[in-house]
């Protein structure tokens, strides 16, 4: 690494691509540029050019100083949402090819028999069963029918598949049939992308395993092409560093691992915001926080308790089951680009449809005619049309007003101002419901948490949302619009491994469990070594899934070596009963306990960006408002003349009462009359409810 090492975090969103460049001394440069959906790498290169301009040096010189780029991508997510992934085939055990379509056989909406599941990512004629089978212990009941594999590959090749998923019954116990099948697939079809279930997810539950494997195969070639195009563009411009990819579990991985395990990027972008939220929870000594990330297309929310974000293995994307460890992020279609319309019944709806970056909101003057949340924010006075993105982009108030008049105010017989306020209220209600989803509905009181603002649009809406939920403490980082990109510079390598070990805890073999943990740790160390992390930089965390006999769901426990060596596993029993009671409010200590899975998380330490305190001579920090303007507050029902502050002019320690607006380079903070604001020593803004 050279001495002038720079690290860059890049979050490619649906509307904007956000970039943060950080130096070793804590100096940062940030920017936002429009996303280019047809080729996201173009938007990334445009953003890097803008960063080089901010640093006042040629792009090639700037790129030559970058040691690491951490990339958060929506490519895999968008492929699933739009159904535009690779043409995928499935080779599976004879007789079970329809498991992908039968799912769990349980209605997602219990009383709605018309609510159909989404179409399978692999259509039936591309799902082929082959002979050969192992039993639940891994013993071979029937040899693999190798000629069936040859015929299956021929059929799939004739149907122009780009990717093949291989998932056999009980392969999680022994993957030899899958490995042999893959050898035949690559011999007969060398250019195809292939994915094996026992390598991606060696865990029981066949439907979940086959669904996850098919998702990986569906998005793998798309991600490979995207990362390939990005790396080619970077190398052509003089970049000599390494690219890392953000994972859905909050860690990072190399592009090689990302292409092989593409399903781990499904929540790549939103995971960056959670990583940043975790960093700020430590920095600001706020261990309990809720991160809300409102961008141009979606609203993502995640709860952090005790400084640790919640993780789930019961996830899905677009209703397709994904049984990989992912941050427990709840997403709804609510963003600055969410389109407002009046339905046939005369009710106002906002989202989930979005104007995106092309054509964008009407006020962007790019051909958009549908009114959006951003248009409403402009009409209400929350966003200064002449200071959008710090003045780098001018918005059209008249176009925003005309769009709202034509599509909302007119049909509802309201004034444009009242219609805009209605759009604002409806989108806020959707976001409040999403926050309750990750808090109230999971047993957490949101009033115990600090609401952390992320994304380019959240700061405009946060006070109204906090009022609705009853949250008293808000934290607005100094660069909320690029929060996810900053979070990508706060992550370590992280890889998760699992082995199903299904038996009563009383009958478990300590030696066998030690061997399984050692095997997974060695696998993690090998992958981390390929990514350049060895020795003291490597750490392993051991976990175990347990349940009471007959239960469906498991409880995950952190364990240490001594737990396995205790006679009768007394420590594990105690931890399980205590954890079960904390989650479900009861424990039955006389009931037998079952072991289901053993898990290892292997982490590799990396360089992390620091947050430098603003220098005393930086900017025009006089603390004075720069202007005043009239802003509409719906709960007051009138326009209010409020002071307008520039965030760079605020002095650490400065306090003032709302209502007011603080304009930043990447967003605007709307402080209503219920909150007081304080600028802390890092130039973050803390809002506290009055009284």
Q: For 368-422, write each residue's pLDDT tens digit.
A: 899 999 999 999 999 999 888 778 888 999 999 999 999 999 999 999 999 999 9
Q: For 17-44, write each residue's pLDDT tens digit.
A: 999 999 888 788 999 888 888 888 899 9
Q: For 447-502, write each residue's pLDDT tens digit.
A: 999 999 998 889 999 999 999 999 999 999 988 888 899 999 999 999 999 999 99
Q: How many domains is the chain built from?
A: 3
The Cα 631–Cα 376 span in angstroms is: 12
How high does pLDDT run on average in the chain? 90
Q: For 569-610, write each residue's pLDDT tens digit.
A: 888 999 999 999 988 889 998 899 999 999 999 999 988 877
| Contacts for 142-146: CB closer than 8 Å, 24+ residues apart | 144/177, 144/180, 144/181, 146/180, 146/184
In a domain, 682, yes or no: yes
Picking from 224, 245, 268, the residue at the C-terminal end of a domain is: 224
pLDDT at 622: 67
Q: Within this chain, do residues 538 and 655 fall inside the same structural domain, yes or no?
A: no
Q: Within this chain, do residues 500 and 598 fall inside the same structural domain, yes or no?
A: yes
pLDDT at 434: 93
In a domain, 197, yes or no: yes
Q: Within this chain, do residues 109 and 144 fall inside the same structural domain, yes or no?
A: yes
pLDDT at 109: 83
Length of the chain: 691
Q: For 165-199, write each residue's pLDDT tens digit.
A: 999 999 999 999 999 999 999 999 999 999 999 99
How large is the angle between the packed helices 75-82 and 206-236, nearest 10 degrees?
130
pLDDT at 620: 52
Q: Within this chain, do residues 171 and 92 fall inside the same structural domain, yes or no?
A: yes
Q: Within this chain, do residues 526 and 651 fall inside the same structural domain, yes or no?
A: no
pLDDT at 458: 92
Q: Scanning the structure block, which residue is given the tokens 């995106």?
A: 356
pLDDT at 563: 86
Picking from 224, 254, 287, the residue at the C-terminal end of a domain is: 224
In a domain, 665, yes or no: yes
Q: Within this chain, do residues 152 and 219 fall inside the same structural domain, yes or no?
A: yes
In a domain, 631, yes or no: yes
pLDDT at 615: 56
pLDDT band at 616 (very low <50, low <70, confident <90, very high): very low
The Cα 554–Cα 550 span in angstroms is: 11
In a domain, 109, yes or no: yes
- The pTM score is 0.85
Cβ–Cβ contacts within 10 Å for residue 468, how many? 16
Q: Average pLDDT, stretch 549-570? A: 86
**C-beta separation of 327 from 278 below 8 A:** no
Decide: residue 9, CB within 10 A, 0-12 exposed, 13-18 middle, 19+ buried: buried
Q: Within this chain, do residues 572 and 647 fall inside the same structural domain, yes or no?
A: no
pLDDT at 381: 95
pLDDT band at 1 (very low <50, low <70, confident <90, very high): very low
pLDDT at 562: 83
pLDDT band at 3 (very low <50, low <70, confident <90, very high): very low
pLDDT band at 283 (very low <50, low <70, confident <90, very high): confident
The Cα 447–Cα 439 span in angstroms is: 10
pLDDT band at 15 (very low <50, low <70, confident <90, very high): confident
pLDDT at 4: 52
In a domain, 518, yes or no: yes
Which residue did the predictor score with more confidence, 156 or 621? 156
The Cα 538–Cα 517 span in angstroms is: 15
Cβ neighbours for 430, distance < 8 A, ≥ 6 positions apart: 299, 332, 334, 350, 351
Q: Average pLDDT, stretch 507-514? A: 92
Q: For 646-672, write each residue's pLDDT tens digit.
A: 988 898 999 999 899 999 888 899 999
Residue 348 has pLDDT above 90, yes or no: yes
Question: What number of H helices and E strands is found in the chain?
Answer: 19, 35
pLDDT at 252: 93
pLDDT above 70 as % of the chain: 98
Q: Within this chain, do residues 646 and 588 fall inside the same structural domain, yes or no?
A: no
At residue 543, φ and ψ (nearest 5 deg) are -140, 165
Strand ranges for 197-322 from DSSP E? 242-246, 252-253, 289-294, 299-305, 308-309, 311-312, 315-317, 320-322
Q: What is the four-CA torsion angle of 265, 225, 217, 12, rounded to 10 degrees?
A: 20
Q: Average pLDDT, stretch 64-87? A: 89
CATH of the domain at 572: 3.30.1490
Which residue did the predictor score with more confidence, 342 or 317? 342
In a domain, 353, yes or no: no
Cis omega (within 30 of 0) for bond into 80:
no
Q: Within this chain, do residues 566 and 666 fall inside the same structural domain, yes or no?
A: no
Q: Within this chain, do residues 507 and 643 fall inside the same structural domain, yes or no?
A: no
Picking from 604, 637, 655, the residue at the C-terminal end of a domain is: 604
The Cα 373–Cα 172 span in angstroms is: 47
Q: Which domain holds residue 177?
A: 80-224
pLDDT at 583: 83
Q: Average pLDDT, stretch 47-73? A: 92
In a domain, 266, yes or no: no
Q: Within this chain, do residues 562 and 665 fall inside the same structural domain, yes or no?
A: no
Q: Average pLDDT, stretch 442-450? A: 91
Which residue did the predictor score with more confidence, 15 or 232? 232
Cβ neighbours for 523, distance < 8 A, ≥ 6 positions apart: 497, 602
**C-beta separation of 344 from 306 below 8 A:** no
Q: Average pLDDT, stretch 527-534? A: 91
Strand ranges for 75-209 from DSSP E? 88-93, 127-130, 133-134, 140-142, 163-167, 193-196
Q: Within this chain, do residues 582 and 640 fall inside the same structural domain, yes or no?
A: no
């Amino acid at each position: 690494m050279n001495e002038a090492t720079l690290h860059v975090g890049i979050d490619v969103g649906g509307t904007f691509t956000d970039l943060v460049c950080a130096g070793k001394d804590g100096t940062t440069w940030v920017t936002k540029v429009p996303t280019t959906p047809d080729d996201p790498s173009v938007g990334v290169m445009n953003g890097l050019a803008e960063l080089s301009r901010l640093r006042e040096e040629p792009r090639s010189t700037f790129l030559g100083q970058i040691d690491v780029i951490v990339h958060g991508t929506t490519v895999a997510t968008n492929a699933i949402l739009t159904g535009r992934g690779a043409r995928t085939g499935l080779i599976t055990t004879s007789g079970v090819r329809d498991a992908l379509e039968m799912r769990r056989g349980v209605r997602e909406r219990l009383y709605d028999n018309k609510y159909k599941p989404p179409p399978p990512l692999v259509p039936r004629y591309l799902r082929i069963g082959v002979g050969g089978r192992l039993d639940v212990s891994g013993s071979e009941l029937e040899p693999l029918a190798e000629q069936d594999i040859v015929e299956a590959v021929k059929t799939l090749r004739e149907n122009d598949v780009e990717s093949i998923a291989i998932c056999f019954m009980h392969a999680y116990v022994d993957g030899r049939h899958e490995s042999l099948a893959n050898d035949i697939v690559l011999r007969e079809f060398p250019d195809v992308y292939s994915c094996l279930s026992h390598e991606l997810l060696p865990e029981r539950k066949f439907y979940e395993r086959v669904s996850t494997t098919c998702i990986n195969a569906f998005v793998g070639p798309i991600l490979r092409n995207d990362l390939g195009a990005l790396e080619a563009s970077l190398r052509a411009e003089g970049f000599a560093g390494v690219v890392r990819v953000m994972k859905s579990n909050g860690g990072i991985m190399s592009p090689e691992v990302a292409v092989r395990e593409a399903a781990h990027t499904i929540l790549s972008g939103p995971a960056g915001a959670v990583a940043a939220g975790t960093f700020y929870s430590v920095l600001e000594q706020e261990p309990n926080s809720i991160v809300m990330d409102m961008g141009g297309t979606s609203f993502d929310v995640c709860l952090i308790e005790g400084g640790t974000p919640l993780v789930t293995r019961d996830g899905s994307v677009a209703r397709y089951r994904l049984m990989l460890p992912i941050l427990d992020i709840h997403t709804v279609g609510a963003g600055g680009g969410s389109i407002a319309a009046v339905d046939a019944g005369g009710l106002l709806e906002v989202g989930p449809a979005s104007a995106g970056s092309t054509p964008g909101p009407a006020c962007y003057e790019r051909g958009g005619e549908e009114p959006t949340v951003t248009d409403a924010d402009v009409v209400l006075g929350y966003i200064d049309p002449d200071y959008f993105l710090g003045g780098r982009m001018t918005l059209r108030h008249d176009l925003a007003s005309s769009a709202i008049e034509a599509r909302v105010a007119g049909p509802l017989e309201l004034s444009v101002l009242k219609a805009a306020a209605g759009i604002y209220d409806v989108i806020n209600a959707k976001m409040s419901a999403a926050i309750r989803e990750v808090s109230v509905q999971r047993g957490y009181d949101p009033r115990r948490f600090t609401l952390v603002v992320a994304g380019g649009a959240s700061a405009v809406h946060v006070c109204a949302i906090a009022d609705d939920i009853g949250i008293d403490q808000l934290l607005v980082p100094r660069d909320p619009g690029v929060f996810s990109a900053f979070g990508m510079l706060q992550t370590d390598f992280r890889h998760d491994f699992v082995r199903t070990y299904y038996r009563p805890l009383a009958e478990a073999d300590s030696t066998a469990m030690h061997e399984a943990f050692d095997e997974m740790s060695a696998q993690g160390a090998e992958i981390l070594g390929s990514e350049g992390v060895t020795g003291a930089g490597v750490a392993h965390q051991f976990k175990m899934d347990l349940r009471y006999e007959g239960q469906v769901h498991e409880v995950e426990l952190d364990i240490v070596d001594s737990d396995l060596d205790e006679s009768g596993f007394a420590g594990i029993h105690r931890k399980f009963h205590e954890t079960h009671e904390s989650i479900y409010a009861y424990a039955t200590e006389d009931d037998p306990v079952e072991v289901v899975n053993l898990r290892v998380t292997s982490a590799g330490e990396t360089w992390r960006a620091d947050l430098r305190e603003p220098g005393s001579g930086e900017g025009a920090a006089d603390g004075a408002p720069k202007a005043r303007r009239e802003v509409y507050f719906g709960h007051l029902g009138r326009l209010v003349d409020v002071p307008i502050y520039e965030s760079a002019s605020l002095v650490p320690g400065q306090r003032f009462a709302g209502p007011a607006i603080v304009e930043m380079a990447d967003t605007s903070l709307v402080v209503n009359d219920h909150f007081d604001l304080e600028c802390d020593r890092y130039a973050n803004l803390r809002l506290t409810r009055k009284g």
